[in-house]
Structure 1
Amino acid sequence: MPKINGNEIRPGNVLEHDGGLWAAVKVDHVKPGKGGAFAQVELKNLRDGRKLNERFRSADKVEQVRLDIKDQQFLYETDGMLTFMDTESFEQIELPADLLGERRPFLQDGMTAHIEYYGAEALSVQLPQKVVCQVVETEPVVKGQTAAKSFKPAVLDNGVRIMVPPFIAQDEKIVVHTETFEYSERA
């Protein structure tokens, strides 16, 4: 694995540090008036989600890790395990549902997800940025309420509650951002 200097760390880099795999979330380069410059790096553990703040000087060497990303199709869920199929080799793998966290309701049958691997270990599942969902419950449209930028609560077909513009009616299909849980547009 290639080693990089502490001042070459960028957000999104995956590092091997303190015996674990860490993703750099935020990097601030600090040059104090007295002493040498350093990079203040916010790290997130890819295995258990812990966060850590570390200082790396330019002389510090850190191992940068390359993750393999594979597109895999979601098949089904049983007993808290999600089954995915590799679209090239048709090999099936099972991953724990908590790997998706709060984005789990947006995973739909047949959806293609990006799974990051370190060797044979799956570390994270990335869903598409936008997903089409149907509104199953919301307040009726009130005439004259669309002038101001206002939102009303809505429940989607996957059980997620989000805020939608007032012109969205029940049984309409909308596009939702899976990262921010926000309304994007009509489908």
Structure 2
Amino acid sequence: MATTNDLKNGMTLDIDGVLWNVVGFQHVKPGKGGAFVRTTLKNVLTGKVVDRTFNAGIKVDVATVDRREMTYLYRDGADFVFMDSESYDQIPVPPGVVGGVADYMLENTIATVALHDDAPLYVELPASVELTISATDPGVQGDRSTGGTKPATLETGANIQVPLFITTGEKVKVDTRDGRYLGRVTS
């Protein structure tokens, strides 16, 4: 148990049996009346963001979220199987929990899996990953004032936009948060 005065960004709260991450908070002390804490909370499971106001000093339940580094091993039916890097335990994670990061995961990719009561909540990848372009059309230069882009398919099957000079078989760096092309990988 903690009070609303102890809130920090990144904390996970258990409010009415639902887990919420604190995205932002502000302590407000008006000239008249009692102090309160205005928070922005994000639902851990659905991603919904809400604003909620608490009276200052009231008790809130802090959820214990264990963030473990794990290795993605393989798909087992619909589930993704991850292995804990320390205990070597294998954990199946449903596709709904993995979410959009599945587009950037290859076998043996290191990821952070957040667990609450041994149930996976979400999967995070590093900010960028290096993947190979499996298919793209040749770029046709034309007269344009800005650099052009073309669609490309990554080895994971995800589609991204890349500059015209990128060819099939090249390794590129991709932002895992929004799928942007970040650059070529030179080895």
TM over 0.5: yes
Query: 1:67 is matched with which residue: 65, 68, 74?
Result: 65
TM-score, normalisation: structure 2 = 0.83
Decide whether aligned partners of structure 1 residues 109 and 180 sit closer, same or farther in structure 2, where only a CA change above 3 A counts: same
In the alignment, residue 182 of structure 2 is paired with which amino acid?
S
Q: Distance in 1 between matches of 2:46 and 2:30?
A: 33
Tell me by how many angstroms 1:149 deviates. 4.1
Gaps of 5+ in 2: none
Q: Deviations over 1:41-99 (max 9, x none)?
A: 22222244444321123222222233222211111112211111222222212111221
Tell me by how many angstroms 1:144 deviates. 6.9
Contact preservation (8 Å) 1:7, 1:56? no
Aligned residues: 185
Contact preservation (8 Å) 2:173, 2:182? yes
Q: Distance in 1 between matches of 2:150 and 2:160?
A: 8
Residue 38 in structure 1 maps to residue 36 in structure 2: yes
TM-score, normalisation: structure 1 = 0.83
Contact preservation (8 Å) 1:7, 1:38? no
Decide whether aligned partners of structure 1 residues 144 and 50 sit closer, same or farther in structure 2, where only a CA change above 3 A counts: closer
Tell me by how many angstroms 1:147 deviates. 6.7
Q: Secondary structure at the match of 1:76?
A: strand
Contact preservation (8 Å) 2:45, 2:97? no
Gaps of 5+ in 1: none
What corresponds to 1:57 in structure 2? 55
Q: Distance in 2 between matches of 1:136 and 1:74?
A: 21
CA-atom RMSD, angstroms?
A: 2.5
Q: Distance in 2 between matches of 1:9 and 1:167?
A: 48
Residue 138 in structure 1 maps to residue 154 in structure 2: no
What corresponds to 1:127 in structure 2? 125
Decide whether aligned partners of structure 1 residues 184 and 33 sit closer, same or farther in structure 2, where only a CA change above 3 A counts: farther
Contact preservation (8 Å) 1:23, 1:46? yes
Contact preservation (8 Å) 1:10, 1:24? yes
Residue 113 in structure 1 maps to residue 106 in structure 2: no
Contact preservation (8 Å) 1:145, 1:166? no
In the alignment, residue 157 of structure 1 is paired with which amino acid?
E
Decide whether aligned partners of structure 1 residues 136 and 31 sit closer, same or farther in structure 2, where only a CA change above 3 A counts: farther
Q: Distance in 2 between matches of 1:153 and 1:31?
A: 52
Decide whether aligned partners of structure 1 residues 32 and 135 sit closer, same or farther in structure 2, where only a CA change above 3 A counts: farther
Q: Deviations over 1:101-134 (max 9, x none)?
A: 1221212111121111223222221122211122
What corresponds to 1:86 in structure 2? 84
Contact preservation (8 Å) 1:7, 1:57? no
Contact preservation (8 Å) 2:74, 2:81? yes
Q: Secondary structure at the match of 2:93?
A: strand
Query: After the TM superposition, which of the residue ranges 63-72 and 22-31 deviates more from structure 2?
Result: 22-31
Which runs of at least 4 in structure 1 moved beyond 4 Å after TM superposition?
A: 28-37, 143-147
Q: Distance in 2 between matches of 1:122 and 1:145?
A: 50
